């Protein structure tokens, strides 16, 4: 039994909080799991992350996408596939849908090109469940700003973030069987229950014995 879960959403949507809460529930249920993130999750990914989020750098959209793709390729091969092959649940904070939304819809790169490069980088590995925490970009950026100095992506203009949000919603609409779309303005405990119900149901269907919730 293995399950690949990704979390997506605009800036400030609350992904980190919900990932932590899901991990806590999996631990309580006795389910082995691996947490990782994009960009990051490997030594190479950590270095790429520091470049991509550096607010002092100007990075061309194509270069930006290729850097994300390099980090993603390493993460899939070094972390995600081995954990799935070991029968674990893998939870990833952002994955390929972020490139489709940020570099495709947001930056205007050709979606076909983005898809082809992503396929090569991931070997076609797709999530079983993608949780999309949808949020108005203005509120999301306010939340992000409250955390401290904004990174390079958070400093992009509001129109960019609106395109990103719509990009996520378009992807989810095209693949409703994979996406769990939730209102990021709902209370954290409500979101936690929705997410756990979906994950627990999938694990049960796969034959996983769920312990204490």
CATH of the domain at 146: 3.40.50.300
Asked whether residue 58 is marked as a ligand-binding residue, the answer is no
Q: How many domains does the chain have?
A: 1
Q: Identify whether 213 is part of a domain.
A: no
CA distance 127 to 43: 23
Q: Residue range 78-100: average pLDDT? A: 98
Q: Identify whether 210 is part of a domain.
A: no
Asked whether residue 10 is marked as a ligand-binding residue, the answer is yes
- Structural domain containing residue 13: 3-205
Asked whether residue 9 is marked as a ligand-binding residue, the answer is yes
Q: Is the pLDDT of residue 110 over 70?
A: yes
Cα distances (Å, whole numbers) of residue 51 to 40, 68, 121: 11, 10, 19
Residue where the block lists tokens 């029968």 = 87
Q: Identify whether 161 is part of a domain.
A: yes
Q: Which residue has the higher pLDDT, 148 or 7?
A: 7
Asked whether residue 15 is marked as a ligand-binding residue, the answer is yes
Asked whether residue 63 is marked as a ligand-binding residue, the answer is no
Q: Identify whether 105 is part of a domain.
A: yes
Q: Is the pLDDT of residue 213 over 50?
A: no
Query: What DSSP character marks residue 148?
Result: S
- Written in H, E and C, the secondary structure of 46-108 is HHHHHHHCCCCCCCCHHHHHHHHHHHHHHHHHHHHHHHHHCCCEEEEECCHHHHHHHHHHHCC
Share of the chain above pLDDT 70, in %: 98
CA distance 147 to 168: 23
Asked whether residue 11 is marked as a ligand-binding residue, the answer is yes
What is the tens place of the pLDDT at every residue in 125-136? Answer: 999 999 999 999
Asked whether residue 176 is marked as a ligand-binding residue, the answer is no
| Both structure tokens of 40 | 């990051």
Q: Identify whether 54 is part of a domain.
A: yes
Is pTM beyond 0.75? Reply is yes
């Amino acid at each position: 039994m293995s399950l690949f879960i990704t979390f997506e959403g605009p800036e400030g949507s609350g992904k980190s909080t919900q990932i932590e809460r899901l991990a806590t529930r999996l631990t309580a249920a006795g389910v082995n799991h691996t947490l990782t993130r994009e960009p990051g999750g490997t030594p190479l990914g950590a270095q790429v992350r520091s470049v991509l989020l550096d607010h002092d750098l100007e990075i061309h959209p194509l270069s930006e996408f290729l850097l994300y793709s390099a980090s993603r390729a390493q993460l899939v091969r070094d972390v995600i596939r081995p954990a799935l092959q070991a029968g674990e649940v893998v939870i990833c904070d952002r994955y390929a849908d972020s490139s489709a939304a940020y570099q495709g819809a947001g930056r205007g790169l050709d979606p076909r090109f983005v898809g082809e490069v992503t396929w090569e980088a991931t070997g076609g590995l797709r999530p079983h469940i993608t949780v999309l925490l949808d949020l108005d970009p203005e509120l999301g950026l306010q939340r992000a700003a409250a955390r401290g100095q904004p990174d390079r992506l958070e400093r992009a203009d509001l129109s960019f973030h609106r395109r990103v949000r719509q990009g996520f919603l378009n992807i989810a609409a095209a693949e409703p069987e994979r996406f769990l779309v939730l209102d990021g303005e709902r209370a954290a405990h409500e979101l936690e229950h929705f997410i756990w119900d979906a994950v627990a149901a999938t694990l049960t269907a796969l034959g996983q014995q769920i312990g204490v919730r």
